[in-house]
Amino acid sequence: MSISLIVGLGNPGTRYVATRHNVGFWLVDQLADHAQTPFRQESKFQGEVCRIVLNNTPLWLLKPTTFMNRSGQSIGAMANFYNIMPEQILVVHDELDLACGNVKLKQGGGHGGHNGLRDTVAHLGSNKFSRLRIGIDHPREKGMNSPVADYVLKSPSKEDLEKINDVITASLAVMPQIIAGGNEFQKAMKTLHS
């Protein structure tokens, strides 16, 4: 099934813009920039919304403004309004269990302790949406003993930022395949995972 809604997860407001938790926002912002279409605040979806066309395919982009832990409220509201099935949704988010510079694409699965995903599963009543997981490293892998909550709300180092941006660029390059679904989605997965 093809994708009709891409959701970037993050936290609203200037103090969070450059933080690791906002990598989902970074990717959908680039999609909107490439399409030269600005986001607009949509109160009924508790988020910023944008309509673009990618490879002749109309797509919704969403940045929930509910804060990360309540992302599902926004995603659920938009999916319900436009009759978008969970299988037609791609959620882009930060992933502690992947090293910086790594990315994983998958369909369905658990929330892995990610509060934004947990809330999304709860509000969609399904875990069958696709995920684009962008690695941000775990603080313990870096020899840091800072709590995860502090770590994700800080900006990555210059070196890590370069790796994250490379992964976003690679993901955007295969986005037409991702949104096509089916075999094309599988091809995009192979490309990204190699």
The answer to whether 106 and 131 have CB atoms below 8 angstroms apart is yes
DSSP letter at 14 equals G
Q: Alpha helices of the chain — where are they, by DSSP H?
A: 23-34, 71-81, 115-124, 148-152, 158-173, 175-180, 182-193
Neighbours of 67 (CB within 10 A): 19
Reported as half-sphere exposure (CB side, CA atoms, 13 A), residue 146 has a value of: 12
Classified as helix, coil or strand, 7 is strand
Active site residues: 21
Dist. CA 126–CA 181, nearest whole Å: 18
Dist. CA 186–CA 62, nearest whole Å: 24
The answer to whether 95 and 113 have CB atoms below 8 angstroms apart is no
Tokens of 77: 């509201």
